[in-house]
């Protein structure tokens, strides 16, 4: 059977546990700062903010094509990242490379 503790003993135990958790939080924050160059709080905020972390290129693509949701982006990638789209892009790029210098001359 477990021994009964007084209310004071229980409070002291809880306080010790809280102090230990605070120390672990400080160590975790320090590890994040060392490894990632930012606090744990900043990392959490960054992961929660989602859209704010996109590159400028991705923002422009999403705005241009009206991609609002993760499903929109997934569908877009499934269409654009296909062999036929790659061939089309490469043929356009090759044609533009050939035509561009002649126009300059």
pLDDT at residue 99 in the model: 52
Give the integer Cα–Cα distance in Å for 86 and 72: 20
At 105, the pLDDT band (50, 70, 90 cuts) reads very low
Is the overall model pTM greater than 0.85, yes or no?
A: no
- Give the contacts of 25 (CB within 8 A, at least 6 positions apart): 40
Instruction: Kindly tell me if the per-residue pLDDT of 92 is higher than 60.
Output: yes
Residues 6+ apart with CB under 8 A from 41: 29
């Amino acid at each position: 059977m477990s021994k009964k503790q007084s209310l004071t003993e229980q409070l002291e135990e809880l306080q010790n546990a809280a102090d230990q958790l605070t120390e672990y939080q400080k160590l975790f924050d320090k590890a994040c700062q060392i490894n990632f160059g930012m606090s744990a709080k900043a990392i959490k905020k960054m992961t929660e903010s989602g859209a704010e972390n996109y590159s400028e290129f991705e923002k422009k693509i999403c705005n241009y094509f009206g991609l609002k949701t993760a499903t929109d982006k997934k569908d877009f990638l499934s269409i654009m990242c296909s062999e036929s789209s790659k061939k089309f892009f490469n043929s356009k790029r090759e044609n533009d490379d050939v035509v561009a210098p002649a126009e300059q001359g």
